[in-house]
Amino acid sequence: MSEVILHDPAQRVDPLGDGDALRKNQAQKHYAKVGSARPSSLLYTYGPGSIIDLPHFTVMPTGLDEWDYVWAHRDGDARPPTVHAPRLLEAVQFMLGRQMAELRPFPWQPTAGTFSREGAGLGVPARVFPQWLRCTGCDRLGPISVFQTGYKNTHPYRPDEAVFEHSPCPGRRGRSAGRKGRRPCVPARYLLACPDGHLDEFPYSWWIHHGEPCPQAKNPRLKMVERTAGKGANAIVVCESCQSRRTMSEAQGAEGRKKLPQCRGRFPHLDGFADGGCDQDSRLMLVGASNLWFPAVQSIIDMPRLDPAKRTADEADRLRALFGDDLADFAVSLPLLRKMLKREGENDLSDLPDERLETAVQTALAPPRPDPEPEDRKARWEPVDLLVPEWNYLQKEPLAERHAESDSGLTVSPRQLDRDMHPGVGRVLAVDRLRKVNAVLGFTRIDDLDRVNDMGARLVQLTRSGQPTWVPATEDRGEGIFIQLDEAKVAAWESLILASPLWRAHQEAHQRNFERRFSETAQAVSPDERLPPPRYWLLHTFSHALIRQMAMSSGYGAASLTERLYAWPAGAGRPPAAGVLIATTASDSDGTLGGLVALSQPARLAAIVSEARRGLTRCSSDPVCARRVPRDPEDFLHGAACHCCVMVSETSCERANRFLDRRFVVALPGGHAKFGFFSDSNDRPG
């Protein structure tokens, strides 16, 4: 797990340097560490710019500028480790710029035991945020400077005991409260946010005095009284200097926004403000709100390149990353270069044939070619562009059982189809080993990227310059099963669905949903561009049924299984695709145990597919679920699907349980029996 480390708010964000300074004075020597988090949570839930809820206060991981100080804190001149994923790096460069040179893991290294000190000099830098706290003993409300002298964090193995205390606390009745008059402080849970990704402290003094200074004191003494904990903006802010008071509920809703100050354009994770400020209206936000932070994450399954030019470019990128400007000195002699590559542990590069290694060196030393139309390429880019190379590789039949690729470690095995397998399934592969690489590019607030189309403007930068040279990445290793449907049958079925009233109902519901929930700050975009084709609905629903059924036989919980859907018609230079990869991965081990791959045996998989189909014909909410079709004014993005029959946990689903309908998979009552791809009427070949 990665440590979360805290800095001195009055200094540059160098938490480990702060810890060293305290250690020299033999005081609070464990000041820096305040908690730990799994790499997956730092990627999807608590990345830079988010708010991590610790036992006694909240912190915000900083931008990437401060992470370099953490890497520099290690002894020696070792470079930070990198994550090798050329295809993902290429996608990140496309989104963030050609200056992007590498992907890095989170600042962490494994330890030999519970009390080992390996990795003690690494961690994710964070600052206390929000920095307005409330005393639980007397309700005193103030900035962190009021309570900082009461900060405690001295136990080497209990960073969770870090706490800010108010001392002396007079208590609510004016008497000393708690042991020796000390009471813990908690974050004041109100913030200001805007759709451009800015976040700011709530201006409590400004709010209580209606935008004017306090008439009685330059620095008024404030108090926050909570009426009922956990039920919205129910607090009352009181100024003890002038006896003014105002409720936080006035700041809620559309009317409340009119009473709030305009956004200042603050980026607390970068400790700065946007150039030129911000022209958006701010809105009230709670610390634990689910729309406070939406990560922009790109992921790939590491698979070998099929294009020789792409392979050469990948090898050139690795050479540049390894040697930098010294590459020209080593390139004068191939034996010397091979020796240096072996010293760096790059045996696959050192074993390349002479001609291929020379080509990679020449490509690495050549000046980069500018992209003639970068903005035009961004406008045409779609998320499925990352999936197309994976789909193309999966179309290759493995040469043998457990065929392994040396570059990626991907190991696949061919599987015959059992005689009882439904004819709609055209092909199966067992993926014995796979590597999934994930990188975070930035984040948004208020609206997630699915609701925003002007991504370049809404994506909050991770560095002050907005030109990062690296981004955090994680590696997950595991196993999976790839199931491909028969393309001819899918195409015929899809043409039937596109002409049906059921599909028209889904289109209209999607349009209503889109218009009501699309970001108010985004540019105009057609809802049809965001509606997945019918084959996606088919594969998505089928995938969820498989996840539920496989969880009963694989030894993994349903929440541990994930889907990766390849579902698009032919067009835009892409071949048609109709397949799903059900996988399980782990970020903190060398892989998984093989329980999922074992289900790919022909007879066993045929039985699982049959049971999954049968399971879709029944739901404890039927007939309500089976007959559900969205009608105006309804705008839900599913049909015959609910938590009783199809929906799975958010860790498993790539589209948050949207775009599901059992009618597209099996025959259901209600006049839509002919639409089921796996129904008896479609069992006949051809």
| Residue pLDDT, tens place only, 190-232 | 999 998 899 999 999 999 999 999 999 888 999 998 866 555 5
Structure-model confidence comparison of residues 138 and 408, the more confident one: 138
pLDDT for 673: 75
Q: Does residue 259 register a pLDDT over 80? A: yes
Q: Assess contact for 143 and 131: CB atoms under 8 A.
A: yes
Q: Does residue 435 register a pLDDT over 80? A: yes
Find the range with the poorest average confidence among 1-5, 133-137, 511-515.
1-5
Local structure of 610: helix, strand or coil: helix
Please list, residue by residue across 163-184, b when 16 or more beta carbons sit within 10 angstroms of its beta carbon and e when fewer do: bbbbebbbbeeeeebbeebbbb
pLDDT for 8: 47
Task: Look at residues 285, 59, 257 and name the one whose alpha carbon lies nearest to residue 192.
Answer: 285
Share of the chain above pLDDT 70, in %: 84
Local structure of 620: helix, strand or coil: coil
pLDDT for 371: 58
Q: Assess contact for 260 and 161: CB atoms under 8 A.
A: no
Residue with tokens 């698979």: 303
Q: What does pTM read for this prediction?
A: 0.83
Find the range with the poorest average confidence among 99-103, 193-197, 239-243, 313-317.
313-317
Alpha-carbon gap, residue 481 to 605, rounded angstroms? 10
With bands split at pLDDT 50, 70 and 90, how would you rate the model's confidence at 686? Answer: very low
Task: Look at residues 558, 512, 505, 482 and name the one whose alpha carbon lies nearest to residue 664.
Answer: 505
Q: Who's near 325: CB < 8 A, 6+ residues apart?
A: none
Bridge partners of residue 224, in order along the sequence: 237
At 56-81, the pLDDT tens digits run: 899 999 999 888 888 777 655 567 88
Report, as an integer, the average pLDDT of 179-197.
Answer: 86
Bridge partners of residue 151, in order along the sequence: 164
pLDDT for 457: 65
- Between helices 487-498 and 501-517, what is the axis angle to 10°? 80
Report, as an integer, the average pLDDT of 499-510.
Answer: 94
Q: Does residue 175 register a pLDDT over 50? A: yes
pLDDT for 141: 93
Q: Could you write out the three-class secondary structure of 330-345?
A: HCCCHHHHHHHHHHCC
At 371-384, the pLDDT tens digits run: 555 555 555 567 78
Q: Who's near 303: CB < 8 A, 6+ residues apart?
A: 87, 389, 390, 393, 394, 405, 408, 410
Alpha-carbon gap, residue 340 to 338, rounded angstroms? 5
Report, as an integer, the average pLDDT of 82-91.
Answer: 88
Structure-model confidence comparison of residues 498 and 233, the more confident one: 498
Alpha-carbon gap, residue 617 to 606, rounded angstroms? 17
Q: Assess contact for 510 and 457: CB atoms under 8 A.
A: no
Q: How many CB atoms lie within 10 A of CB 613?
A: 21
